[in-house]
Amino acid sequence: SAVISQKPSRDICQRGTSLTIQCQVDSQVTMMFWYRQQPGQSLTLIATANQGSEATYESGFVIDKFPISRPNLTFSTLTVSNMSPEDSSIYLCSTRFNSQETQYFGPGTRLLVL
């Protein structure tokens, strides 16, 4: 597996603002995934980001709230827009390598919205 990094590792934000989270992989990958893990909960897939196409969002998540960019095969961003305290969560990016189904996760971004 390759190395996956995320920035920022944590942040405290005011309600109504937006935060962009970056995910960098040290090798080229086709699919990148963005998950949310709310306190005490499991992982919920927000969207799948493929390079060169629009992200595919899961039920309950919309592009206006969570816009995603995928400018190349090693990088993606997730923006959490117009934040409220309910957006306080850990946001994780993950990817697959070499057509394997196994997903590997970045270290996560811990977001607290006040």
List binders of another protein among 46-65 (CB under 8 A). 48
Percentage helix, strand, coil for the chain under 3-state DSSP, each rounded to 5: 5, 50, 45
- String marking each residue 68-107 x if it binds another protein according to CB under 8 A: ----------------------x-x---x----xxxxxxx
CA separation for the pair 18, 111 (Å, rounded): 11
Name which position in 13, 22, 45, 88 contacts another protein (CB under 8 A): 45
- DSSP lists the bridge partners of residue 110 as 10, 90
* For another protein, the closer CB: 41 or 82: 41
